[in-house]
Amino acid sequence: MAADEDAPKPVGAAPGRRRRRAPERGGLSTYAERHAQALVYALGRLSKRPLTTALIMAVIGIALSLPAGLHVLIRNVSAASYSWESAVKASLFLKDSVSASEGQALAERIAQHPGVAAARYISRRQALQEFRKLSGFGSALDLLDNNPLPAVISVRPDPGLSAARAQALVHNLAALPGVARAKMDQAWLRRLRAILAIAHRTAWILAVLLALAVVIVVGSTIRLDIENQREAIEIMKMLGATDRFIRRPFLYAGAWYGLFGSVLGWIIVAASLWALSAPVARLASLYQGGFELAGLSWRGILGLVAAGVVLGWLGSWWAVGRHLREIQPS
């Protein structure tokens, strides 16, 4: 009978023995083929349970979109704050020996200085009046015999100037004769920077916590998957499947979850930015700025997706390591 040619052969003819020593039989192409098989097989299994897959995807997507979105927000505010930096004002406090007319002339001279957009002389009396009006300490000032406030030239650097150039400019102006001291009005900017630093740190904490959540979500999903496949795993072990062989599709399933979840996360961030772009443009127009919201950079998108894949892989690695060993055929 022709079929008997392919029936089992006795020991001597068994081809298995010589080749059995290599841990992975076949060449590199077979090895790649096996991984490709597991990759596609894992994807096929996910597609058979679309609802579960969609839910996991949504959880991962939302979890990853939060830190990613916060990161984008911080980057935008930082960028905006740099563009505001050069728009700050500097105050040049004049020596008391400088008369009002000399101060006025100095202000006019400074206004011609390259890099200066405007310079305004504020006499000691004007300074006192402004202080009375704004501070509410007017009556306290009445107790003093003479005006303690110096005359000031308020300088606005060119808006196009970088922060360093503006700083250098103010430093030069401070050296002018008649100027006692120069001070850049940067306090609010420093506060903003401090707040941004806190926000940045918060984003990192959030990222770490949510990454952990992704690992746990993928891990418990894979654990359920392993539980549902318990019988098939037992059968495969009886047929001589190595742990590596059994592990592979689960690891790939985790990676697929991470990949799809992170792509969804990117879509959530992009959609949120799109929704915010109109009100942000309105706000920017109030500051006469041509500011535009920046989305995730290509590197950012790549990082997000890579993070998703790695976290999904880690999650399933964790589940597989814990639960696959428990399943032994009997």
* Binding residues for another protein (CB under 8 A): 3-16, 20, 24-26, 29-31, 33-34, 37, 231-232, 235-243, 245, 328-330
What is the amino acid identity at position 316?
A: S
Q: Are 319 and 219 in contact (CB under 8 A)?
A: yes
Which CB atom, from 24 or from 130, has the smaller least distance to another protein?
24
241 φψ region: left (φ > 0), alpha (ψ -120 to 50), beta (else): beta
Which CB atom, from 33 or from 185, has the smaller least distance to another protein?
33
- Nearest distance in Å: CB 55, another protein: 21
The residue among 117, 96, 113, 213 whose CA lies nearest residue 159 is: 117
User: CA torsion, points 9, 238, 43, 326, in degrees to nearest 10?
Assistant: -160
Give 91's DSSP letter.
E
Which CB atom, from 3 or from 275, has the smaller least distance to another protein?
3
- Nearest distance in Å: CB 41, another protein: 10
- CA atoms lying within 13 Å on the CB side of residue 56: 31
Q: What is the 3-class SS of 169-219, one letter each residue?
A: HHHHHHCCCCEEEEEECCHHHHHHHHHHHHHHHHHHHHHHHHHHHHHHHHH
Which CB atom, from 40 or from 79, has the smaller least distance to another protein?
40
- Nearest distance in Å: CB 65, another protein: 34
Q: What b/e sequence results for 188-198 when a residue is b if at least 16 CB atoms lie within 10 Å of its CB, and e otherwise? A: ebeebeeebee
Which residues does residue 119 pair with via DSSP β-bridges, in sequence order?
155
The residue among 46, 40, 63, 58 whose CA lies nearest residue 215 is: 63
Instruction: Give the pair of three-digit tokens for residue 115.
Output: 């890099």
- Nearest distance in Å: CB 24, another protein: 6
Which CB atom, from 34 or from 200, has the smaller least distance to another protein?
34
Which CB atom, from 68 or from 246, has the smaller least distance to another protein?
246
**CA gap 216, 228 in Å, rounded:** 18
- Nearest distance in Å: CB 10, another protein: 3
- Nearest distance in Å: CB 39, another protein: 14
- Nearest distance in Å: CB 31, another protein: 8
Which CB atom, from 14 or from 278, has the smaller least distance to another protein?
14
**CA gap 114, 108 in Å, rounded:** 12
Q: In this structure, is the dihedral angle defined by the CA atoms of residues 112, 113, 114 and 118, taken in order, positive or negative?
A: negative
Which CB atom, from 175 or from 239, has the smaller least distance to another protein?
239
- Nearest distance in Å: CB 220, another protein: 22
